[in-house]
C-alpha cells in the first residue's frame, strides 16, 4: 500500500477502530495489510497533529485493558465465593476469630479491656490489630 495522504486518511478510521477494540499495533497492521512500522508512523503523525479521536481511542483502549485485568485477577475470588459462599476476607476473619477465641474471650470478660489487651503477647496483639479485631485508641486499646 502506498503511503500517500489519501491512503493515510483511509487507514486512519481503521486504525481508530482497531484501537477502540483494544487490538495491538501488530494486529491492526496485519488487519490493514501493512507493515507495523508504517502503522507506527501513522500513529506518530496523528499524535503530532493532536488528533482528538486518537486520544479518545487510546483512553478507551486503556480502560478496556484495565477492566480485562480486573476480571482476570478476580476469577479466583469469584470461584472461592461460589464454592464457600463467602469472600477471602470473610473467611480470613472467621478463621482469625476461631483461632484467637480464648484470647478474645479473656479480653471481653475483663473489667478493663485495655489492661487485658496489654497482657497479651505482642505478636497476638499485632495480629489482632492487623485484622481489625483490636483498635488502638489514644492510649486505650479496645475490641472492635
d(CA 29, CA 15): 8
> pTM for the whole thing?
0.48
Q: How many C-beta atoms lie closer than 10 Å to residue 25's C-beta?
A: 16
- Where are the domains positioned within the chain? 5-73, 86-143
Q: Which helix (H) or strand (E) holds 49?
A: none
Tens of pLDDT, residues 73-124 = 888 888 898 998 898 888 988 898 899 999 889 988 988 888 888 888 989 8
Q: What cell was used for 114?
A: 485495655
pLDDT over threshold 80, residue 23: yes
139: left (phi over 0), alpha (psi -120 to 50) or beta: left
pLDDT over threshold 70, residue 3: no
Amino acid at each position: 500500500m502506498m503511503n500517500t495522504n489519501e491512503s493515510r486518511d483511509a487507514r486512519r478510521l481503521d486504525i481508530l477502530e482497531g484501537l477502540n477494540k483494544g487490538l495491538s499495533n501488530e494486529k491492526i497492521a496485519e488487519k490493514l495489510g501493512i507493515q507495523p512500522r508504517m502503522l507506527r508512523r501513522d500513529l506518530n503523525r496523528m499524535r503530532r497533529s493532536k488528533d482528538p479521536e486518537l486520544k479518545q481511542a487510546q483512553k478507551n483502549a486503556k480502560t478496556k485493558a484495565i477492566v480485562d485485568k480486573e476480571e482476570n485477577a478476580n476469577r479466583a475470588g469469584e470461584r472461592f465465593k461460589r464454592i464457600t459462599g463467602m469472600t477471602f476476607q470473610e473467611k480470613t476473619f472467621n478463621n482469625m476469630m476461631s483461632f484467637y477465641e480464648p484470647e478474645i474471650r479473656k479480653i471481653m470478660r475483663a473489667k478493663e479491656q485495655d489492661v487485658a489487651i496489654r497482657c497479651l503477647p505482642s505478636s497476638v496483639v499485632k495480629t489482632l490489630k492487623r485484622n481489625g479485631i483490636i483498635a488502638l485508641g489514644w492510649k486505650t486499646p479496645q475490641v472492635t
